[in-house]
Amino acid sequence: MGFGRPSNTESSSGAPPDRGSFPLDHEGECKEYMKVYMQCLRENKNNNGACRELSKAYLQCRMDKGLMDKDDMRNLGYADIMKSPSSSGEK
């Protein structure tokens, strides 16, 4: 008996993790990016706005190494710091 859950939940379909969850970097492939980002946070009193380029680089590393699904940086909240030829000189 499942007590509040379907009886077949023990069998997993092997589906990928939900968006926003990703595997740990056990091999340390992006560790340097993470360390630089964390140092920036410490130096800026945890003001992540001052370290956005570094967090973007960390996420790009994770995507490049297959530690998370590839996605457009605009979808990850970096639309305002995207560099494109058509947006240069505007503001």
SS3 for the chain is CCCCCCCCCCCCCCCCCCCCCCCCCCCCCCHHHHHHHHHHHHHCCCCHHHHHHHHHHHHHHHHHCCCCCCCCHHHHCCHHHCCCCCCCCCC
The pLDDT score that the predictor gives to residue 2 is 53
Residues near 70 by beta carbon (within 8 Å), at least 6 away in sequence: 63
C-beta atoms surrounding 22 within 10 Å? 16
The pLDDT score that the predictor gives to residue 48 is 93
Average pLDDT over residues 55-79: 93
pLDDT at 91 over 50: no
pLDDT at 15 over 60: yes
The pLDDT score that the predictor gives to residue 76 is 92
Q: Mean pLDDT of all residues in the chain?
A: 80
